[in-house]
Amino acid sequence: MIPAILVIILLLSVYALFSPDLLYGTIALSATSVAAALVFYICHAPDMAITEAAVGAGLSTIIYVWAIRVTERSDRR
């Protein structure tokens, strides 16, 4: 089960790096944090799982989305 989740984390991370839209990349990073929290929970580290879910998937995502919303979008030409 853990190797499958690690592959999902790798795929989501690569997608976040090469995503043309910043918001989709941020959502992929949030999903990566949720998957990492699941790995921590499976490894019997619930304190790390709760911290990763709260900070990685919660607080960081809110800050990134806020930063994307307040900045102007410039299209590549």
pLDDT at 31 over 60: yes
pLDDT of residue 77: 54
Residue 18 belongs to a domain: yes
pLDDT of residue 73: 74
Q: Could you read off the pLDDT of 36-75 as tens digits, one per residue?
A: 999 999 999 999 999 999 998 999 999 999 999 999 877 6
Residue 76 belongs to a domain: no
Residue 28 belongs to a domain: yes
Tally of structural domains, the chain: 1
Residue 36 belongs to a domain: yes
Residue 77 belongs to a domain: no
Task: Tell me which residue range forms the domain holding 33.
Answer: 2-70
pTM, whole model, 2 decimals?
0.86
DSSP string, 10-68: HHHHHHHHH-SSHHHHHHHHHHHHHHHHHHHHHTT-HHHHHHIIIIIIIIHHHHHHHHH
pLDDT of residue 28: 96
